Amino acid sequence: MSVEDKIIGVDLDGVCCSFYSRMREIAAEWFECSLEDLTAEVSYGLPEWGIKSDEEYQSLHRFAVTQRDLFKTSQMIPGARRYLRELSNEGARMGARHENSLRSLIGFGWGFLFLSDSL
């Protein structure tokens, strides 16, 4: 099956980039605590780090994306770059998808920059 001229939505966190490990570093700065104070094992919404509401999560996420270049500074998942490049070389067009990007054009824009800078 040809992917030429197909538009493929690409998930960023946990698929293309190591979202939570970078977010943990940023959250340590946000909360003014050591990295070791924040568990590496988290779930959506980050209640393990003391996040109590969606509003609080959105505030941290917005800071991470706009002030600390979350997606541009996250490490790529091994193999992701190669397969994204293969899809691109076969003519596919890709758009970044991140849960919060659907709510935030800022996040969506950064996701596109992440993909274009990473290929």
Assess whether pLDDT exceeds 70 at residue 108.
no
> Which residues are the active-site residues?
11, 13
Can you give the pLDDT at residue 26? 97
pLDDT at 110: 42
* % of the chain at pLDDT higher than 90: 39
Q: Which two tokens stand for residue 94?
A: 């890709």
At 83 the pLDDT is: 84
C-alpha distances (whole Å) from 1 to each of 5, 30, 78, 102 are 12, 46, 25, 29
Q: What is the mean pLDDT of the chain?
A: 80
The structure tokens listed for 107 are 């996040």
Token pair, residue 79, equals 């193999």
Instruction: For residue 11, give the 3-state DSSP assignment.
Output: strand
Distance, in Å, from the CA atom of 53 to the CA atom of 47, rounded to the nearest integer, reads 8
- Classify 93 as helix, strand or coil: strand
Model pLDDT for residues 44-71, shown as the tens digit of each residue: 899 999 999 999 999 999 999 899 988 8
**Which tens digits make up the pLDDT trace of 80-105?**
888 888 888 888 877 665 554 434 33
User: Quick one: pLDDT at residue 38?
Assistant: 98
Sign of CA dihedral 22, 8, 95, 51: negative
